[in-house]
A and B are shown apart, each in its own frame.
Chain A
Amino acid sequence: MVTSASTTVHILLFAAYAERLGVERIDAALRPGATVADALAYLRALPGGTELPARPLCARNLAHVGADAPLVDGDELAVLPPLAGG
């Protein structure tokens, strides 16, 4: 398996979650082989991060994914508050 020093994931936060963490975009350097759950753990360690729910909705590169979905370098991961369209 090819490994690089780290996997940079572009994390986007929206609406109530962006307000709780005080930021809309964070680039996270994660270990190679990291999953969505690892990115969420990274967010929880930030100021305000403990206010995120245990299993928020997430989307990788514009499509919904579960917490066990793998992340690769350059992925965009969006953490989505409860949806309220319609």
Chain B
Amino acid sequence: MGFLTDTPLDVSRLVAEVLASDRGGIAAFVGTVRDHHQGRPVRELEYTAYGAMAEAECGRIVEETERRWPVRVALSHRLGLLAIGDAAVAIAVAGSHRDEAFAACRHVIEELKRRVPIWKRERYADGTVEWVGAGQAADLTVPGGRS
């Protein structure tokens, strides 16, 4: 547990967590706060989560990924108010070789975006505030394939 944090992310700490003498390939992904969304300038944004489920779902993603590839995964997602350029999510994946490290790292971020209950509210330069994705239709599929 402990995938969510209110404090700035530290990629080097995640890399150190997965580093081992038999793992020669480490892939890292860092998602940062963009200064625009659908053509509108963004000033800052706030992440909130359904904390208990987000922790559980991150744990399931890490476990599934480590079962599918011979890798170790470290993952951290920031919550609270973030400025442009701040890291919102950081992932480090270590494997024996680069192929599984890249593939597993890609899998973790895609599954996180699809399944982990985190929301963001953007504050635009014109002063308005909006939940991202609030106008979209809900996904009809059940993430993770469970029912």
Residues of A within 8 A of B (CB): 12, 14-16, 19, 53-57, 59, 62-66, 68-69, 78, 80-86
Q: Is the CB of A81 within 8 A of B133?
A: yes
CB of B81 closer than 8 Å to a CB of A:
no
Using CB atoms, name the residue of chain B closest to A68. Answer: B147
| B50 partner, pick from A14, A53, A54, beta carbons under 8 A | A14
How far does the Cβ of B92 sit from chain A's closest Cβ, in whole Å?
15
Q: Give the complex CA separation of A56 and B146 in angstroms.
A: 15
B88:A86 contact, CB within 8 angstroms: yes
**Nearest CB to that of B111 among chain A residues?**
A86
Contact present for B119 and A62 (CB under 8 Å): no
**Which of B66-74, B94-102, B135-143 sits within the interface?**
B135-143
**In the bound complex, do residue A62 and residue B53 qualify as a contact, i.e. CB atoms below 8 Å apart?**
yes
- A82 to chain B minimum Cβ distance, whole angstroms, is 4
Q: Specify which chain A residues have a CB less than 8 angstroms from the CB of B40 in the assembled complex.
A: none
Question: How many residues of B are counted as interface, with CB atoms below 8 angstroms from the partner's CB atoms?
Answer: 38
Which residue, of A56, A69, A82, A85, has the highest number of chain B Cβ atoms within 10 A?
A85
Is B89 engaged at the interface, CB distance under 8 Å to the other chain?
Answer: yes
> Does the CB pair A84–B132 fall under 8 Å?
yes
B29: nearest residue on chain A (CB-CB)?
A86
CA distance A59 to B31 in the complex (A): 26
SS class, residues of chain A in contact with chain B? loop
Contacts of A69 in B (CB 8 A): 147
B76-120 CB contacts (< 8 Å) to partner A: 77, 88-89, 109, 112-120
Asked if B124 is an interface residue, CB under 8 A from chain A, the answer is no
The residue on B at minimum CB distance from A12 is: B50
The distance in angstroms between the C-alpha atoms of A69 and B147, with both chains bound, is 6
Please determine whether B142 and A56 come into contact, CB atoms closer than 8 angstroms. Answer: no
CB-CB nearest 6 A-B residue pairs: A85-B118, A82-B133, A15-B119, A16-B134, A66-B147, A16-B131
Q: Which B-chain residue is minimally distant from A20 (CB atoms)?
A: B134
- What residues of A have a CB within 8 angstroms of the CB of B89 in the complex? 85-86
Q: Among B52, B112, B138, B146, find the residue whose CB has the most chain A CB atoms closer than 10 A.
A: B138
B146 to chain A, nearest CB (A): 6
